[in-house]
């Protein structure tokens, strides 16, 4: 039987709770589709700072490099958020890990589930049938450019830099995805103002000739922010730089009704990391109210990455079943609400039941 090594970085806040449910579900599919998953836990974020004084201990980097994939929970703790003078921050751990592992493409699928259309503050006619995927560049741009602060502390600088190669790497992935989907790619940029955006446009324009079936269009980020909630159905594959992608993807989460549904994959040349897009949600920690679905669906993306497509489909199917049956945490429930643990149990049991009966 195939055996996969998974580095598990549960992190902070609700991270450990949603990861527990994800492992429960992964173990259920592994059993029914006959492969093995071995987990190695490692520290990152505020909990790592508390225990080792570093947001990303060397051991964690090693564990991730040796693993076939990384499963990630959440990062961040309020005790660091409102202190602009904090010397170390939990988020540094995640940023450094992305860089260390070369995770250049962050992939965030967004869709509107039929059963949950009324959970979004946006009108049903606007959001129904939305099915888009965001490709966000993850290890360059303003997040990673030179930063400085003047000695008197009165002038601060962040630099946004992109190379042709960095843009090409993620653009190829986005084009390949468009070919498998609906052959439409939208580059979101600010080419009317930024030199880096003009480089993105030139690179994407020249790659487009290699993907003749794909219709490419270009949209300024301010307009895109508006279009995304006015008419999200116009999008299929969105390609964008690091910071625009960060902002646009939180905005897109409103379409699905809860940020607690959205998974992500961060792809590198050698490894990949899978994480829910929601953060550590410290207010919900240990209350059993965190929605585990975003993390569970990230687990499904991980199985796709490992080539276990049937198992990944079984997870998505079980999640859909939970949604349709209303087995949901308070962020989405209508009358009866279920705990984090109960939602995880339901999904894991459905995976076993379904595969046990092979009714399809
Ligand atoms: C995300 C998060 C991170 C980011 C933070 C925690 C550094 O918001 O994954 O979207 O800005 O990339
Ligand atoms: Mn973000």
Closest by CA to 311, choosing from 2, 32, 38, is 32
| CA pair distance 181, 194, nearest whole angstrom | 30
Res. 356 pLDDT band, cuts 50 70 90 = low
Residue 326 scores a pLDDT above 70: yes
| CA pair distance 176, 173, nearest whole angstrom | 5
ipTM: 0.99
Q: Does 250 contact ligand 1 (Cβ within 6 A)?
A: no
Give pLDDT tens digits for 37-85: 999 999 999 999 999 999 999 999 999 999 999 999 999 999 888 777 7
**Contact (Cβ atoms closer than 8 angstroms) between residue 237 and residue 176:** no
Report the run of H or E that residue 184 belongs to, with start and end: strand 184-189
Q: Is 250 annotated as a binding residue?
A: yes
pLDDT for the residue numbered 216: 98
Measured between alpha carbons, how far is residue 5 from residues 36, 39, 135, 302 in Å? 9, 6, 26, 12
Q: Do domains 1-104+268-360 and 112-257 have the same CATH topology?
A: yes
Q: Which ligand is nearest to the CA of 247?
A: 2
**Beta strand spans in 214-360 (E):** 215-220, 237-240, 263-267, 272-276
Considering only CA atoms, which residue is closest to atom 6 of ligand 1? 91
Considering only CA atoms, which residue is closest to atom 11 of ligand 1? 246
Q: Cα 8 to the chain's mean position, in Å?
A: 15
Measured between alpha carbons, how far is residue 50 from residues 56, 100, 351 in Å? 11, 22, 37
- 246 CA: nearest ligand 1 atom: 10
Q: What is the mean pLDDT of the chain?
A: 95
pLDDT for the residue numbered 83: 78
| CA pair distance 133, 152, nearest whole angstrom | 44
Mean pLDDT along residues 289-297: 98
The CATH class, in words, for 112-257 is alpha beta
Considering only CA atoms, which residue is closest to atom 8 of ligand 1? 246
- Cite the active site residues: 143, 190, 222, 246, 250
Which of 89, 134, 144, 246 should be mutated for ligand 1, with most atoms under 8 A from CB? 246
Give pLDDT tens digits for 135-179: 999 999 999 999 999 999 999 999 999 999 999 999 999 999 999
Q: Is 98 annotated as a binding residue?
A: yes
Q: Which ligand is nearest to the CA of 46?
A: 1
Q: Is 222 annotated as a binding residue?
A: yes
Res. 87 pLDDT band, cuts 50 70 90 = confident
Q: How many helices (H) and strands (E) does the chain have?
A: 13, 12
**Domain boundaries in the chain?**
1-104+268-360, 112-257
Q: Report the CATH number of the 1-104+268-360 domain.
A: 3.40.718.10
């Amino acid at each position: 039987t195939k055996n996969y090594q998974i580095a598990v970085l549960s992190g902070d806040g609700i991270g450990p709770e949603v990861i527990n449910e994800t492992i429960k579900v992964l173990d259920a599919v592994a059993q029914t589709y006959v492969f093995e998953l071995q987990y190695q836990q490692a520290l990152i974020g505020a909990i790592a700072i508390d225990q080792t004084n570093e947001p990303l201990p060397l051991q964690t980097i090693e564990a991730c490099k040796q693993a076939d994939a990384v499963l990630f929970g959440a990062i961040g703790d309020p005790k660091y958020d409102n202190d602009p003078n904090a010397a170390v921050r939990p988020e540094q751990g995640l940023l450094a890990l992305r860089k260390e592992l070369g995770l250049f493409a962050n992939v965030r699928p967004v869709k509107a589930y039929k059963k949950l259309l009324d959970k979004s503050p946006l009108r049903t006619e606007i959001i129904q049938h939305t099915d888009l995927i965001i490709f966000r560049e993850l290890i360059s741009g303003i997040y990673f450019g030179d930063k400085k602060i003047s000695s008197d502390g009165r002038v601060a600088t962040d630099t946004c830099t992109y190379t042709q190669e960095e843009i090409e790497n993620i653009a190829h992935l986005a084009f390949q995805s468009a070919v498998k989907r609906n052959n439409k790619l939208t580059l979101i940029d600010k080419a009317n103002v930024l030199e880096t955006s003009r480089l993105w446009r030139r690179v994407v324009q020249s790659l487009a000739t290699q993907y003749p079936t794909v219709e490419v269009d270009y949209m300024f980020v301010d307009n895109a922010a508006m279009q995304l909630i006015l008419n999200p159905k116009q999008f299929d594959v969105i390609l964008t730089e690091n910071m625009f992608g960060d902002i646009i993807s939180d905005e897109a989460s409103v379409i699905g009704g809860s940020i607690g549904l959205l998974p992500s994959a961060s792809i590198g040349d050698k490894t990949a990391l899978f994480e829910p897009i929601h953060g550590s949600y410290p207010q919900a920690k240990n209350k059993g109210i965190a929605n585990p679905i975003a993390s569970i669906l990230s687990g499904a993306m991980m199985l796709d990455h490992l080539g276990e497509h049937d198992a990944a489909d079984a997870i998505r199917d079980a999640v859909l079943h939970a949604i349709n049956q209303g087995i949901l945490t308070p962020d989405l429930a209508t009358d009866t609400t279920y705990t984090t643990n109960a939602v995880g149990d339901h999904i894991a049991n459905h995976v076993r039941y379904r595969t046990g009966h092979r009714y399809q």
